[in-house]
Chains A and B, each alone.
Chain A
């Protein structure tokens, strides 16, 4: 059976399938189901949301997607800058604390046993 013959066969089957009808009680039940579904249909989107979508759609040719992307990127960049500044200020505060303890001889004895700290002290002295 070639493709054309398949189509012809399919068309004949469709014709026969469409020729039958359902029993009246089935038709009534399907109709009742359809009416119930229509009565519970989800309403269209709220006018305020539609207005916002329209505004974004009309503003200077920018699509809603572009605006959202730009806003998201700006938020991300702002967050990254904020985190970097916070970490920097934390590090500065730690160094200030160590310096203060050095000057007041309050540095814990274990710090002097730390090779890394010794090297750091030598480096700082050389820089000064």
Chain B
């Protein structure tokens, strides 16, 4: 469960690019799953949780659309603002003991690589990112991925292929080859 919630949180961050919003989405999704579907068989829960998360992310974007109309109007009146995104390095730490013999420089490099990968995954088109994350991070098979994404298995393979190529190219452009 702990691994699931951590992945769910990171996936929400990829989608909405705001840590607090991602946390709210995951918290709400867990509550909704437990309150409404807590009596369902265990095998159904991962798919239900995924659907609840996707709906919550979609709702968040809908609310943002409305909110952005007002902020656009108000920001035109305010002086220049700093719109830098929150630096993930402030929240993501290298796992303790992941490289006990690594020097601080090596650990810093690993953290930077992680940050870059997360940024580039976040920049993938939504469907490609969903397919890539489910296939390679959650290690679901093609059939289960297709079920969750509500598309054909062929579409899953296409999305994965495009995502992989796009991600590899983006990482190469930033000096990273895996």
Contact = CB atoms under 8 A, between A and B. Distances in A.
Interface in A9-47: 9-14, 16-23, 26-27, 29-31, 33-34, 36-38, 40-45
Given A10-B135, A21-B92, A21-B96, 10 more contacts: A10-B164, A16-B117, A17-B117, A20-B94, A22-B92, A23-B92, A27-B6, A30-B2, A41-B38, A42-B37
Given A14-B137, A22-B6, A40 B34 contact: yes
B168 A17 contact: no
A126 interface: no
A9 B161 CA distance: 11
Nearest to A7: B136
A20 B92 contact: yes
Interface residues of A, number: 33
Interface of B: 1-2, 5-6, 9-10, 19, 23, 26-27, 30-31, 33-39, 90-96, 98, 110-111, 113-114, 117-118, 121, 132, 135-137, 139, 160-161, 164-165, 167-168, 178
A97 to B, nearest CB: 59
Nearest to B133: A17
Interface string A84-127: 00000000000000000000000000000000000000000000
B139 A38 contact: no
A37 B30 contact: yes
B31 A11 contact: no
A128 interface: no
Q: Give chain B's interface secondary structure class.
A: helix
B27 to A, nearest CB: 4
Given A19-B114, A34-B30, A42-B35, A13 B137 contact: yes
Contact of B5 (A7, A9, A34, A44): A34
B37, B135, B137, B178: most-surrounded residue (chain A CB, <10 A):
B178
Contacts of A6: 160-161, 164
Contact of A45 (B39, B93, B121, B167): B39
A16 B113 contact: yes
Contacts of A41: 34-35, 38
A33 B31 contact: yes
A1 interface: yes
20 contacts: A6-B160, A9-B164, A10-B160, A13-B121, A14-B136, A16-B113, A16-B114, A16-B178, A17-B137, A19-B95, A20-B93, A20-B118, A30-B9, A30-B23, A30-B26, A34-B1, A34-B5, A37-B35, A41-B38, A43-B39
